[in-house]
Each structure stands twice: as structure tokens, then as C-alpha cells.
Amino acid sequence: MSNQDIAMAMRDHHAFMAQQLQDRVQSIETASTTWESARDVVVAYLVDEVLPHAAAEESTVYRVGAKLESLRQLIESMLFEHVVIQGLTEDLRESSQQSRAITLGAQVAKLFEVHAEKENRFIIAVLEPMAEINLEEVLGDMHELLAH
């Protein structure tokens, strides 16, 4: 696949995940089940999908980006945001009041949306046109990074 194809699949995957997360967060407020089980569904999505996605990025796209002087500082800040997402996941897991869970859920969903859009605009868009970078090779078999 070309860099362009890979970049598109990565953007699609970000959009998909942001929507999936947002929908699950919404359920903490509106679920017909208990709010606790809706909270647990959000935590499970973060632990099973979002955090593995972040880890896969760190060993692929971020690793390559960090070698470019122009991206080094940005990659540092993106790594920091991964830590914040992890912290919010733990806070959400431990939340014992619905209002607190709604707030934390909204925070992590918005942070992820903005974080993913920063990757789209300021990392993927920079690497995509570089002739010396082969995104397919960079990603390897990291299916966590591509739309299925």
C-alpha cells in the first residue's frame, strides 16, 4: 500500500475509535443498564483498544517521528498525552459516582479526539509525503493502527 493509502487508513481508524469511545461515554448518562456497567464498558474499550493503539504507535510512528528534528518535541508531548489518557482510564475505573464518571468520560473522549486529530494533521500528514519513509514498513503488522 502507498503512504497515501496507509495515511488514509490511519485517519479512518482514528475517526472510528473516537466515535466508538464517544458513543460508549454517552451511555454512562443514558444507558438502560446501570451506569456502573456502562462505565465498565468505557474502561474496557480504553484498555482493550485505545491503550494498545497508543502502545503500537509508540513503537512505530512515534519512533520514526522522533528521529526527525522537526517532530521531536511534538512526539514528546504526544507521549505525555498517552500517559494522561492512561491516568484518566484509571480514574474512570475507580469512579464511584455517576456524575464523576460522566465528567471523566467526557474528558477522556475529548482528549482522545484532539490527540488523534493532532496525529492526523501534524504527524501523519508530515510523514506521508516523505519519499524516504515507507509507512507500510513502519507499521509492520500493527493492525491496531489501521481501519479494519
Sign of CA dihedral 42, 115, 20, 139: negative
> Shortest CA distance to 100 belongs to which of 112, 86, 88, 118?
88
How far is it, in rounded angstroms, from Cα 86 to Cα 78?
Answer: 13
Binding mask 31-60 for Fe ion (x = CB under 5 A): -----------------------x--x---
Footprint (CB under 5 A) of Fe ion, residues 62-121: 116, 119
Residues 15 and 29: beta-carbon distance below 8 Å: no
**Shorter beta-carbon distance to Fe ion: residue 28 or 116:** 116
**Shorter beta-carbon distance to Fe ion: residue 38 or 75:** 75
Smallest gap from Cβ 118 to Fe ion, in A, equals 8
> Which positions touch Fe ion (CB under 5 A)?
54, 57, 116, 119
